[in-house]
Chains A and B, each alone.
Chain A
Amino acid sequence: MDLIHVSVVLAALGLFLAIFYGPWQTLCIDWARQRMFEARDRVFDAARRGDIPFDSTEYRECRLTIERMIRFSHHLSWPRLILMQLVPRNMIDRAGVRDVLSAMPIGRAKEEMERAFATVAYAIVLCVLGRSLFLGPIFVAIRGLHIMHGRLTRFLFSVVDEESRAIDFNKPAFRRVRYRHP
């Protein structure tokens, strides 16, 4: 019976590895690409509203950068991200889009583009975490906390909202406090 137990555990482990290194990898990449496509659409919408011309250098540079990220996101891994950080800044043209963004005048277009790049960065980091067998659990914990945080915040807000509705601000105690501290 012990050998059968071991066989079942190993079969389950093999199945887990097959899922993790197969469909799960594709899922993480597709998820990140979807977030990045949404970011690209946000930049497109900013141009469509007239916040920035379609043929401006800023628009083209931002769009091309996001598209490069979408195209090559399957090559990104945490060792590569670390390696990119270790390479001296003057050795790669890493600040291209940052220069373009910082040179833009403050306005809706700049805000949209900064938000788009924040989304891209978030998607890449979570994708890299999710695809790693070692960092995967951290990814799950972050996503769990993120969801929990959202729900907890909404729950607390609803409680506070209900409490504040229940309070009668015409009670003498409130009037007194307001009188002392106008």
Chain B
Amino acid sequence: MAEDFTEATLVKIRLIDRSFGAICLAVKYGSFVAVAYFFGQAIEALAGEKTDATISLAVTFLTKTTGGTAAAAGIGTGVLGVVYGLLERRLRYQKVEHLQGRVKELETFLDVNRSSSGLTIQGRTNPDDV
């Protein structure tokens, strides 16, 4: 019964909701900015000495030292895992798109007034709802 809301209550609810949203966005993008900033600082400090020397130092660290190799292997495996996951997800979306028409047709046969979830045919969020 949305008409029971007073104007002041609606404004308050919206304000609180937007404030929480802003905080979440700040945490999300702030953490990216902070990481990028400190990463840039570290690279700048390294490059300040001599770029070629920095690159060779980084390559030596990642390939010759135990810790560096482990870190490179870890990050590399993580990236591979993400790529694998993204490919699997794409396959799942294709599968959903392939099967949904048949399911819809069969269900409509039994339920003439069948309603839909409003997602895309791949099962993704409707662009109108973003």
Residues of B contacting A74 in the complex (Cβ-Cβ under 8 angstroms): 125, 129-130
Q: In the complex, which residues of chain A have a beta carbon less than 8 angstroms from the beta carbon of B118?
A: 67, 70-71
B119 touches A71 (CB 8 A): yes
| Identity of the chain A residue whose Cβ is nearest the Cβ of B38 in the assembled complex | A10
Q: Note all chain B residues with C-beta closer than 8 A to A17.
A: 31-32, 35
A26-B58 contact given A74-B129, A87-B13, CB 8 Å threshold: no
Q: Name B20's closest neighbour in chain A (CB-CB).
A: A79
Report whether B16 and A21 are in contact in the complex, using a CB–CB cutoff of 8 Å. Answer: no
Which of A88-96, A109-117, A174-182 forms contacts with chain B?
A: A88-96
Please name all residues of chain B whose beta carbon is closer than 8 Å to the beta carbon of A1 when the two chains form the complex.
57, 61
Q: In the bound complex, how far is the Cα of B124 from the Cα of A26, in angstroms? A: 9
Whether the pair B46, A92 counts as a contact (CB closer than 8 A) is no
For B16, list chain A residues within 8 Å (CB): 83
Given contacts A44-B107, A92-B2, are A8 and B71 in contact (CB under 8 A)? Answer: yes
Task: Knowing that A7-B42, A83-B20 touch, tell me 19 more A-B residue pairs with CB under 8 angstroms.
Answer: A4-B46, A4-B57, A10-B39, A14-B32, A15-B75, A17-B31, A17-B35, A23-B86, A30-B89, A30-B92, A33-B119, A37-B117, A47-B110, A54-B110, A71-B118, A74-B129, A77-B24, A79-B20, A91-B1
CB-defined interface of A40-52 with B at 8 Å, one 1/0 digit per residue?
Answer: 1000100110000
Contact: A26 with B117, CB < 8 Å?
Answer: no
With A and B bound together, what is the CA distance between A40 and B42 in angstroms? Answer: 52
Contacts of A98 in B (CB 8 A): none
Pairs of residues from A and B, 3 with the lowest C-beta to C-beta distance, nearest first: A79-B20, A10-B39, A70-B117
In the bound complex, what is the Cα–Cα distance between A132 and B113 (angstroms)? 37
- Mark interface residues in A62-99 (1 if CB within 8 Å of B CB, else 0): 01100100111011010110010001001111000000
Which size class do B's interface residues fall under? Answer: 35 or more
Q: Are B125 and A29 closer than 8 Å at their CB atoms? A: yes
Q: List 14 A-B contacts (CB under 8 A).
A: A1-B57, A3-B42, A5-B67, A7-B42, A14-B32, A19-B78, A27-B85, A44-B111, A67-B116, A70-B118, A74-B130, A80-B20, A83-B13, A93-B2
Q: How far in angstroms is the closest Cβ of chain A from B52?
A: 15
Q: Is A146 an interface position by the 8 A CB rule?
A: no
State A104–B82 Cα separation when bound (angstroms): 47
In the bound complex, how far is the Cα of B117 from the Cα of A33, in angstroms?
Answer: 10
Partner of A8, one of B4, B68, B78, B115: B68
Q: Is B27 an interface residue (CB 8 A)?
A: yes
Q: Indicate if the CB atoms of B113 and A60 lie closer than 8 Å.
A: yes
Are A33 and B123 touching (Cβ within 8 A)? yes
Kindly report which residue of chain A lies nearest to residue B79, judged by CB atoms. A15
Question: Contact at A23–B89, with CB atoms within 8 Å?
Answer: yes
Do B38 and A93 touch (CB < 8 A)? no
Asked whether A12 and B74 contact (CB < 8 A) given A63-B115, A64-B115, A87-B13, the answer is: yes
